[in-house]
Chains A and B, each alone.
Chain A
Amino acid sequence: QQQVKQSPQSLIVQKGGISIINCAYENTAFDYFPWYQQFPGKGPALLIAIRPDVSEKKEGRFTISFNKSAKQFSLHIMDSQPGDSATYFCAASRDFNKFYFGSGTKLNVKP
């Protein structure tokens, strides 16, 4: 059973556009929801994270929107740039550092 479902699998956005990636989770015990960015040949790197008591968190061009009742959260990348082209993973955890990851979204930002 997949604990965290992520969509879309791939996304193409024009430079300057908004990229939106969605995730849904099942376990209401999850209490920490990070997003990771991974470039080819590199390990994932933390982008931004949120707790379920907050509905939105913004850091620069990256925003997490969190809907606790729907058990969904999403990543918005404003003013998307070619350098944002990477694979993005959402994740959820409740036990120390045991994270459940989504399947990933490959983002391609066209110049």
Chain B
Amino acid sequence: KAGVTQTPRYLIKTRGQQVTLSCSPISGHRSVSWYQQTPGQGLQFLFEYFSETQRNKGNFPGRFSGRQFSNSRSEMNVSTLELGDSALYLCASSLGGRTSGNTIYFGEGSWLTVV
């Protein structure tokens, strides 16, 4: 069974640009959540989508947005990039049916560098 697939794996962007990251969840998983990982702030929750609806949102500015498609694939977008947005962006998928206690499976992440 294929794991969570994230593309691209590495990218470099310039301040002010925007970026779109893609995530394909494990087959059959309907929940996709996104996390930002940095050395200073650690792993921080961005948002979660379940059946194309945003189910949860973290404390990030509106420049960070996401969406989920009918096939459960998800994209996240960051507009007007800042240097501080440089991070590893991790996507995680789960069956998502329970209100808590769902096992989430992470992809290998997309490394974003903003210069």
A binds B: yes
List residues of A whose CB falls within 8 A of some B CB: 31-32, 34, 36, 41-46, 49, 51, 89, 91, 93-104
With A93-B100, A97-B92 already in contact, 6 other A-B pairs whose C-beta atoms are closer than 8 Å: A43-B4, A43-B92, A95-B56, A96-B50, A96-B96, A97-B48
Cβ contact within 8 Å between B103 and A49: yes
User: Chain B binding site: helix, strand, loop or mixed by DSSP?
Assistant: strand
A59–B44 Cα distance when bound, in Å, is 27
Cβ contact within 8 Å between B103 and A96: no
User: Chain A binding site: helix, strand, loop or mixed by DSSP?
Assistant: strand
A103–B105 Cα distance when bound, in Å, is 19
Please count the residue pairs between chain A and chain B whose beta carbons lie under 8 angstroms apart in the complex: 73
**Nearest A-chain residue to B40, judged by Cβ:** A103
Cβ contact within 8 Å between A45 and B106: yes
**Nearest A-chain residue to B48, judged by Cβ:** A97
Q: How far is the CB of B75 from chain A (nearest CB, A)?
A: 17
CB-CB < 8 A to B109: which residues of A? 43
A104–B104 Cα distance when bound, in Å, is 18
Q: How many residues of B contact A (CB 8 A)?
A: 29
Query: Is B64 positioned at the interface, with any CB of A under 8 Å from its CB?
Result: no
Cβ contact within 8 Å between A96 and B55: yes
| 29 A–B pairs (Cβ distance < 8 Å), ordered by A | A31-B101, A32-B100, A34-B103, A41-B108, A43-B92, A43-B106, A43-B107, A43-B109, A44-B43, A45-B106, A93-B101, A94-B100, A95-B100, A96-B50, A96-B98, A97-B33, A97-B55, A97-B94, A97-B96, A97-B104, A98-B45, A98-B48, A99-B35, A99-B43, A99-B45, A101-B35, A101-B44, A102-B42, A104-B43
